[in-house]
């Protein structure tokens, strides 16, 4: 490392010095202008925006807080979560699919792979730890988080963070209550203290406790204040209560509204450009909305974070050939395989349809427009430019070289049915694409924010931007399209046009897909439906008409192979739903994607259904297997520290290997229990594997409303050891917890 004040401080930190104290000394060496420089992204606004629209997002990192005079390297952001967005990189299954694996070890390994690729493209801050609660499955960015349950989300997000941070820094987002897309720039979420701390924040805290380097604030407002300038969230909760010592960055471009209040509230860096603060901080300082002490505090936090990670970042960056290397592709395939959730598997001719009998499979119909297209997830900030992608059709063809695998796009259901009719089996691939769900930057969402844009210092670039806004959501610059054509980025999905994204308008399949299923199932009783979606799809209209259904997600670049492996029984279906699939949307909380104001209570997901006495179509934690799994007897033991040790046995009564996800739910007796622990366990055929799961102390504590902090749990609590949230064979215990 060159001989600079920063390098010297980093050396001392490595030798045990306190990063915060070293940062304070470095910040004291800065000029006022250098400190101001650290408060926002290093790139100028209009030129940056122009580059972003031309594909720069997928080619370059976004630097901030670099001060060359002192050797301060700043950070270099790039995004996720389904991989590294600077391409061509490995595209993993989306986070929701990874949530369905319930495999924290796997998620940590994915984190390591992403961390390596991130460093290889020159970035050192990974923006892909997205952990907002799936409050309603219509949320357009559902695919970017892990599910509906805060404990489950927290464990997976912490695992990703652990893995990534072996190589680089991670950023958790969007803090907080960002669970709607179309209205994200305008909605104000009202939430009471109990719901906030018990439902919407515990997973953020888990990841802060894991040592995450950075937090990204959300676009929306909470309780009347924009998250990017909320003293309640950024200072009182995050720093004062949780003790977070890392840095806070804004969500991009419209992530804060006012320069002064954002600094005073504890938002350290405005991303990605010099925008609101560059134009408004002088006035804010003059009017006393913030002061030099706030600025110093913000810059110290940023520099301290860099120092804390200096040793990790001093590791040599991997070479570019780590991108989409064989080992990472294998990991993507493992994740895709483990994520497939078998929702239904009824007998046809006396035996369950799945796994398909390969020996008897001479002709296979693969039906649907989604069967043969690259469909890796949304087209917004999480888009990964994977060099290639295995579609369901590719995967099945590769797996069945001796069978005739016939594709029909399903545009005409009757024609598809006549193909399916003379095949041994039909696989119908239905669901969504980036046109139906995903990140959304429509004109309607941002037009009222245009006044935040800085002055037109470059009229040509401003005009180009205006044309882009005019052209509508997800305009793709000719340069980006050309890059795709040159093989640098992926071709846009053939036949689907450009992405629109946004919140879903329906939880059902498109009527065309439902008609296709009906036609094919009527023609061939051996019909399997594979659902591609980022969250729950209500299947009441057609589920009973087909023997087999799997949820196969946006499964990443190796997804087609994984689907083939599971359908053919070369791999077992081991996924479990990370959300509830309701029978009726009315069983969920209301969802208005255009709302300017919403109130979130603590009731969504499986515990809402339990409260209201509604059964799910498929409960949270549910997934079938090809073998027969049951839980053995269970016992619970309360430790002196308030932890609860659950002991049970996962039994495989069948002749195929299987994987159990032992789930422990709990809560004050009489209230719907919530997930407090889980373990994924492989169980060989015919075996019984002992399982111990520990419920951490504090898991049942309740928010002390009004006074802050937590009240330790006391009194009788239910502990439920189960295979899913509505398991009729669950083992139930009542334990007394001492407060
Ligand atoms: C998204 C963030 C993302 C950022 C940078 C924003 O529009 O909301 O999730 O990290 O862009 O890509």
Q: Is 175 in the pocket of ligand 1 (CB under 6 A)?
A: no
Judge if the beta carbon of residue 250 lies within 6 A of ligand 1.
no
> Cα(185) to centroid of ligand 1, in Å?
12
Give the position, in ligand 1's atom list, of the atom nearest the Cα of 178.
Answer: 8
Helix 150-164 / helix 202-209 crossing angle, nearest 10 deg: 30
Query: Is the predicted pLDDT of residue 490 greater than 60, yes or no?
Result: no
Q: How far apart are CA 582 and CA 221, in angstroms?
A: 29
CATH, domain range 336-438+500-587: 3.40.50.1700
The larger pLDDT score, comparing residue 58 to residue 648, is at 648
Q: How confident is the model at residue 471 (pLDDT cuts 50, 70, 90)?
A: low
- Token digits of residue 157: 């997000």
Return the sign of the alpha-carbon dihedral for residues 501, 505, 508, 512.
Answer: negative
Determine whether the shortest distance from the Cβ of 252 to ligand 1 is under 6 A.
yes
Ligand 1 center to 407 CA (angstroms): 37
The pTM for the full model equals 0.96
Q: Which pair of tokens denotes residue 161?
A: 């963070």
> Prior bond to 176 cis, omega within 30?
yes
Output the CA 535–ligand 1 centroid distance in Å: 20
Res 470: pLDDT: 58
pLDDT at 450: 78
How remote is the CA of residue 590 from the centroid of ligand 1, in Å? 26
CA distance 305 to 597: 35
The per-residue pLDDT for 549 is 99
Percent of the chain with pLDDT over 90: 88
Confidence of residue 1 (pLDDT cuts 50, 70, 90): low
Element (H, E) at 555: none
465 has a pLDDT exceeding 70: no
What mean pLDDT do residues 690-694 have? 98
The predicted pLDDT at position 328 comes to 98
Residue of 152 and 448 predicted with greater confidence: 152
Name the residue at shortest CA distance from atom 4 of ligand 1: 252
Looking at CATH, the fold of the domain delimited by 627-737 is given as Immunoglobulin-like (2.60.40)
Confidence at residue 482, expressed as pLDDT on a 0 to 100 scale? 63
Span 65-91, average pLDDT: 96
| Residue carrying the six token digits 């016992």 | 635
Separation between Cα atoms, residue 384 and residue 291, nearest integer Å: 40
CA 127 to ligand 1: nearest atom: 10
**What's the pLDDT tens digit per position in 247-256?**
999 999 999 9
Query: Has residue 462 got a pLDDT over 80?
Result: no
Calculate mean pLDDT across residues 205-210.
Answer: 98
The pLDDT score that the predictor gives to residue 685 is: 98
Closest protein CA for atom 6 of ligand 1: 252
- Cα 255 to ligand 1 centre (Å): 10
Burial of 170 (0-12, 13-18, 19+ CB in 10 A): buried
Residue-level pLDDT at 492:
44
- Give the position, in ligand 1's atom list, of the atom nearest the Cα of 128: 10
In the predicted model, is pLDDT for residue 143 greater than 70?
A: yes
Residue 287 makes CB contacts below 8 A (sequence gap 6+) with 260
Question: So what's the pLDDT on residue 141?
Answer: 97
**Predicted local confidence at residue 480, as pLDDT:** 56
Which atom of ligand 1 lies at the shortest distance from residue 272's CA? Answer: 5
Instruction: Report the nearest atom of ligand 1 relative to the CA of 57.
Output: 12
* 627-737 matches 5-135+142-178+196-315 in CATH topology: no
What pLDDT does residue 445 have? 60
Domain ranges of the chain: 5-135+142-178+196-315, 336-438+500-587, 627-737
Q: Ligand 1: does its nearest atom lie under 6 Å from the Cβ of 79?
A: yes
Q: Checking DSSP bridges between strand 363-367 and strand 425-431, what pairing results, if any?
A: parallel
> Using a 6 Å cutoff on CB, does residue 251 contact ligand 1?
yes
- pLDDT of residue 449 exceeding 90, the answer is no
Q: Is 378 in the pocket of ligand 1 (CB under 6 A)?
A: no
CATH number of the structural domain 5-135+142-178+196-315: 3.20.20.300
**How many angstroms separate the first and last alpha carbons of the chain?**
53
Per-residue pLDDT band for 496 (boundaries 50, 70, 90) equals very low
For the chain, the average pLDDT equals 94
For residue 380, the ligand 1 atom closest to its alpha carbon is 7
Q: Mean of the pLDDT values across residues 44-69?
A: 90
Share of the chain above pLDDT 70, in %: 94
Rounded to whole angstroms, the Cα distance separating 413 from 274 reads 53
Lowest mean pLDDT among 355-369, 433-447, 711-725: 433-447
- What confidence tens digit (pLDDT) does each residue in 529-575 have? 999 999 999 999 999 999 999 999 999 999 999 999 999 999 999 99
Q: How far apart are CA 260 and CA 642, in angstroms?
A: 44
- Asked if pLDDT for residue 189 goes beyond 80, the answer is yes
Environment class of residue 300 by beta-carbon count within 10 Å: exposed (0-12), middle (13-18) or buried (19+)? buried
Mean pLDDT along residues 208-212: 98
Rounded average pLDDT over 310-320: 97
So what's the pLDDT on residue 82? 97
Which of 252, 255, 442, 445 to mutate for ligand 1's pocket (most ligand atoms within 8 Å of CB)?
Answer: 252
């Amino acid at each position: 490392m060159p001989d600079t004040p920063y390098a010297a401080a980093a050396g001392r930190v490595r030798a045990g010095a306190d990063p915060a104290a070293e940062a304070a000394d470095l910040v004291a060496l800065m000029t006022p202008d250098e400190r101001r420089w650290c408060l926002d992204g290093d790139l100028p606004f209009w030129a940056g925006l122009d580059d972003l629209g031309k594909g720069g997002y997928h080619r370059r990192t976004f630097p901030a807080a670099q001060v060359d005079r002192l050797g301060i390297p700043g950070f270099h952001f790039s995004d996720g979560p389904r991989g590294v967005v600077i391409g061509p990189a490995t595209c993993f299954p989306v986070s929701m699919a990874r949530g369905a694996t319930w495999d924290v070890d796997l998620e940590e390994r994915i984190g390591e792979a992403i961390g390596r690729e991130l460093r290889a493209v020159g970035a050192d801050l990974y923006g892909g730890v997205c952990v907002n609660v799936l409050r309603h499955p219509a949320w357009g960015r559902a695919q970017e988080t892990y599910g509906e349950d805060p404990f489950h989300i927290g464990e997976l997000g912490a695992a990703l963070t652990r893995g990534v941070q072996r190589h680089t820094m991670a950023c958790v987002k969007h803090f907080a209550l960002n669970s709607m897309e179309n209205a994200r720039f305008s909605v104000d979420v009202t939430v009471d203290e109990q719901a906030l701390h018990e439902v919407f924040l515990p997973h953020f805290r888990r990841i802060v406790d894991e040592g995450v380097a950075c937090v990204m604030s959300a676009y929306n407002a909470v309780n009347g204040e924009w998250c990017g300038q909320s003293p309640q969230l950024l200072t009182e909760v995050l720093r004062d209560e949780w003790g977070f010592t890392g840095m806070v960055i804004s969500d991009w471009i419209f992530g804060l509204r006012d320069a002064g209040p954002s600094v005073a509230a504890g938002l350290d860096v405005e991303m990605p450009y010099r925008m609101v603060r560059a134009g408004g901080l002088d006035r804010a300082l003059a009017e006393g909305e913030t002061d030099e002490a706030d600025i110093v505090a913000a810059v110290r936090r940023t520099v301290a974070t860099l120092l804390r990670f200096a040793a990790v970042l001093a590791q040599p960056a991997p070479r570019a050939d780590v991108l989409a290397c064989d080992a990472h592709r294998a990991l993507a395939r493992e994740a895709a395989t483990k994520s497939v959730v078998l929702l239904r598997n009824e007998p046809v001719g006396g035996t369950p349809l799945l796994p398909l009998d390969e020996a008897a499979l001479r002709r296979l119909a693969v039906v649907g427009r989604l069967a043969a297209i690259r469909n890796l997830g949304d087209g917004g900030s999480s888009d990964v430019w994977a060099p290639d992608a295995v579609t369901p059709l590719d995967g099945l063809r590769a797996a069945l070289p001796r069978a005739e695998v016939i594709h029909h796009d399903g545009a005409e259901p009757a024609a598809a049915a006549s193909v399916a009719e003379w095949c041994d089996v039909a696989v119908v691939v239905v669901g969504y694409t980036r046109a139906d769900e995903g990140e959304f930057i429509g004109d309607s969402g941002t037009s009222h924010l245009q006044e935040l844009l800085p002055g037109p210092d470059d009229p040509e670039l401003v005009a180009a931007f205006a044309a882009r806004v005019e052209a509508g959501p997800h305009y793709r610059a000719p340069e980006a399209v050309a890059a795709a054509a040159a093989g640098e980025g992926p071709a846009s999905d053939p036949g689907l046009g450009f992405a629109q994204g946004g919140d879903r308008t329906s939880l059902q399949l498109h009527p065309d897909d439902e008609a296709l299923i009906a036609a094919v199932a009527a023609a061939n009783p051996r019909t399997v439906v594979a659902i591609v979606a980022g969250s729950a799809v209500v299947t009441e209209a057609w589920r009973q008409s087909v023997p087999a259904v799997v949820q196969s997600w946006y499964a990443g670049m190796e997804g087609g192979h994984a689907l083939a492996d599971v359908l053919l029984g070369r791999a077992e279906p081991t996924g479990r739903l990370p959300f509830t699939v309701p029978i009726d949307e009315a069983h969920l909380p209301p969802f208005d994607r255009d709302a300017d104001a919403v109130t979130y209570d603590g009731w969504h997901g499986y515990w809402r259904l339990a409260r209201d006495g509604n059964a799910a179509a498929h409960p949270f934690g549910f997934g079938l297997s090809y073998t027969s799994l049951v839980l053995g007897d269970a016992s619970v033991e309360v430790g002196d520290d308030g932890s609860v040790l659950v002991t049970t046995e996962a039994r495989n009564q069948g002749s195929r290997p299987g994987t159990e996800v032992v789930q422990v739910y709990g809560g004050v007796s009489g209230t719907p229990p919530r997930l407090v622990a889980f373990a994924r366990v492989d169980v060989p055929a015919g075996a019984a594997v002992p399982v111990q799961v520990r419920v951490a102390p504090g898991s049942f504590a309740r928010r002390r409303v009004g006074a802050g902090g937590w009240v330790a749990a006391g009194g009788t609590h239910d502990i439920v050891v189960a295979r899913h949230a509505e398991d009729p064979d669950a083992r139930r215990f009542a334990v007394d917890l001492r407060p």
